[in-house]
Structure 1
Amino acid sequence: MSETLRPSDPSSIAGFRLLRRLGAGGMGVVYLGRTDAGALAAIKVIRGESAGDDDFRARFAREVELARRVDSPWVVSVLDADAEAREPWLATVFVPGPSLAEAVAEHGPLPTSAVRVLGGSLAEALDAVHTAGLVHRDVKPGNVLLALDGPRLIDFGIARAADDTVLTASGVVVGTPGFLAPEQAEGRPASSASDVFALGCVLAYASTGTPPFGTGTPDALLYRTVHDEPELPGMEGESRTLVERCLAKDPDARPTAEEIRLLLAEDAPDDSGTWLPDPVARMVATRSAESLALPGIEPTVVDGPDEQAASDAPAGHPGRRRLLLAGGALLLAAGGTGAAVWASEGDDEEPSGTGGRPVYVLGVHTATDTADVAVSRASERAARLAVAEHNASPKRAYDLKVKVLADRGDVAGARAVAQAFTTDRNVVAVLGPVAEIPMRAAAAVYGEAGLTHVSSTTGQQDYFVTSPRTSFQTGAPHLALGTWIALHALITGQAVPAGIVIDRAGGTIMQDLGTPLVEGWRETVLAEVIPRVVAEQTDDGPKVVRELLAAGVGALVCLAPLDATVRTAKTLAAAGFTGPRWMQPQLYASDFPKQAGAAGEGWFVVTSAVDPSVLKTQKAKDFTAAWRKRYGATPEPYATEAYDSVRMLLAEFARTVPAGARRRPVRAAVAERLAKAKYKGIARTYTFGRYHHYENTSDGWRDETFVHAVQGGRFRQLGSLGDLWLAAQGQS
């Protein structure tokens, strides 16, 4: 898992801006970086004694040169390098997925179809390695990364030219015991056949969940590799035959990588992720987001007239300067946004194309996944209301129709929905998807087709990598919302030691919220914070909460899925805890008040979603009245943001419709206009930043972020952060 940059880390290396730390070891650090064009890279930087070791520098330069010689889509390619720099570095294409070792450890063996795809792709990678005159020498599950479009072979740190005798003298074992060939185990030189043996070990591991020569000490593994037959429980048919051939003790009896590639040529992956079983595909997709949060930027400290105001602020409440600096820092750290959509309620009040006017279609990309049902319904309703208002105008030049398609919260379903919308030439724009995994998967499809889509409920920030022109988000990023919980505590005088529960069952979003929250509590609230992580597939939440209570925390933030948050509420209630409690922002649209019952009373949620029914502006009153008339109730959570997003989309689309309305509008023109648009919505003004994320105004963090509390068994809006700050200062 990635972590934020440290003060000692550089901000950039050559043409790469550094975003996160991906890992560190004795020889250096690996960073996530980004070029000016938005391409992501993994940048290995050599530090410490190794950087001053001439022999090590020579080996590092050789690694760079060898890696550049290999040309294969299944080998991570080199973007740039400098072995002569004061701290040598190597930049390769970033593959955010987990390793094969992690995937099998977490979800068990892969099905036969996935193993065949894995084998064919890795054989093609090794064929390219061998064609370049190289031997990899360390093919193992940890050096195979999984991506939705196929695996990637990494790490040429100990690769050698086939005729290179350096470090291959008799008696020297190079490689990973359990995944190296008998000749390597005996200290003899490695060859291309040795890589094929290792490939057989990898495929056996992927098929059975265990290495073919078991586990144990290196000596035991080396002995078994040389003398024992492999154990392949459960492997049958052609797959077993192929692996057994790869694991032949005699190098000459093994197939070549090219032979394996040709044998498995029909098992090539596509980029939909369907080659992987669903649990692993979800792991790949969620892991893809884990390291892609943009870094925070320190606020500029400006001495001015507000210094005295800060010193005169009442005890327990922040001064104006401190608050504005904190908000400014959060604003700069924020960079993404969010979206919303839902399930079909029928096509009433929508035109059939009669009356001589052309009919254009607004797509609504929703989800049937339980966690996304509420925001999906709100999004569809918002789209239907906006379209009905357009069609009610007697002066309209064209009619609009709503088309709703839903995914299941998965990669394959999201791509299928996006493909259905993009192939329908009547669809001019799309609202959605509603969730992070579908957003990332569908964005590439929409981007390739030039179809503009806006998500109002997603908040991760890397979708622009695959769709830099037509994907937009209108919600606040998770990174900002995490910090704004701390800002709410600061504003309302609740600066007490806090426990923060980060439950990984909620996916990488919990980490996106938790990391800036921990930093914000320490640096802005200026109070002690105790973070605790709950591992996936465990029931350690109540135990962690009890440990935090025993540590004496006065506040608690639970960043977890709904069921775990409900359990936390009941654990706190049973312990008599009455301090301030916050849940993660996505639960604003959830059934938390009902499920938690009395234990949920008083919990806060800080979010960019507004309840327009309590606002006093005419726009909010008109929208609430129109919603109530059509649907018989006040607007649901996230309805306002979805409605604003659709109205903004339709306004920019209208400017692309040719005069006479007989020529078809150009799809890409909507995105070009939207990127420059400024739209005054019901509770906020929308403009987009460089990466098509919602960009707050200077006061956006204050006036466009809302605090809700569970009161009387329902969420009730207390006001914006700005409202609460003024109230704390005794102002109205």
Structure 2
Amino acid sequence: MSGGSARVVGDRYRLDGWLGRGGMGAVWQAHDTLLGRDVAVKEIYLPGADDGPVGADDPAIRRAMREAQAAARLRHPGIVTVHDVVVQDGRPWIVMELVGGGSLAGAIREHGLLTEHRCAAIGLQVLDALRAAHRDGVLHRDVKPANILLDGDRVVLTDFGIAALDDATALTTTGQMIGSPAYLAPERINGRPATAATDLWALGVTLYTAVTGRPPFHGTDTQSTLAAVLHGRPETPAHAGLLWPVVKGLLAKDPARRLTADQARPLLEAVVRAHAEESGRKRTRRAARRDRLRPDGPEPAPTVPAPPVTVAAPTAVRPPDGPTAAGAPTAVPDRGLPGRRPLIALIVVSALLAAGAIAREVWQYTGPAESAPPGPSTTTPSSAGSPSVKAVPAAFVGRWSGRASQPGGSVTSWKVTITFAEAAAVGEFESSTLNCTWSLTLADPAPTEREMHLLQEKTSWDPIGNCVTTADLTLRVDQRGRLEMRWQAIGDKSNQATAWLTRS
């Protein structure tokens, strides 16, 4: 761009800015001035051409056309749509749909690793895209996180630049190795032709990378990386859970023993379904816990009118001088507990009917009770001698999120979300990175407007044992409205984490 004017390609595509660039080209965000829509335009680099025009038979031109042809013949929501191919000044440009969001590679860089169920959901959509491509005779040959775009819940496979079409002339000589070394299948390194199984191997490497934050096979250079692919065995991931059997099956070095797409799909579906079922159970437990611990209590049951005689509270009765009658009944005030049944109501009525006799016995020992001041009573008998219900201060109410740093943990950085409802006495602590949830209960010392102490107790199923059972948590709201978190596992003072959270 120069002089304040945007560059226009093909007399209609105005280049507005870079979306990304790599060794083989750059992707621009552009605007189609003819149809009035935003698009993505891929610029193909031509090594050795010195930015000048090249002939139509140049491999770079043929490869660009191959990419456009490969994607254009496929109709699937998980595969990027190609709109046009433009050759300007002898250089190829591919015009594609503009997919919102970033790549899976960017998500891994940002979060360190993804949860087991998120990886399964992404893998399921990529697998469906590959199945559609394979049915139409197209092999992608470069499946990796950088070529997977995330647009909300939609997952899009892109960059068919080195795809192989079963009805087209090959662009590479027999045995020539193409693709990203860490994602190449062993049979491709050994010079065997690409098949659907090689794309599935790359999907397995991609899922392993997403759930651990690192590829299963890596070295200091290309040669050592290829050696690791041929001879190495990946470590069992600590956080893969139910996803690991799928990944392990996709990483079988013998393509004949590798999981097929039809075999892998129900396994990925099972991981997604298990998470959905567990999430449903968590929501049910959270709803029940909120109802049980609301400060105002559950909906009170209808009250039974009391007889005219009043009974003093147990703490206001002075014991007589001498032994009390064995087995004397004790009056229990109605606290409106949840789950009350008609039988309980009947017992309450019976107790109230006996209240007159009990009061007469009390009168004989203590005399008349001290008169209460005129006007309606503002306290209940049960409040005497017991602490009032504590609630989370207003400054903490809401949903807070951020990333925690835990130098001594098996995972040194993890996402955390803390939620407090208005006037609640409990909260929820969740980590999508660790796939665990905890309840938060107020602890001593009593909370202030800006600081409170809580007990954290695990509520989720954790078969791998990633998460501690209990921890002490201190939260403080600073003057800028940020939430400072100080976390320490109970029984292990060296296991600590800190975070700054913002209200979301």
What is the TM-score when the length of structure 1 is the normalising length?
A: 0.35
Name the one with the larger strand percent: 2
What is the TM-score when the length of structure 2 is the normalising length?
A: 0.49
Work out which of the two has the higher radius of gyration on C-alpha atoms and give 1 or 2. Answer: 2
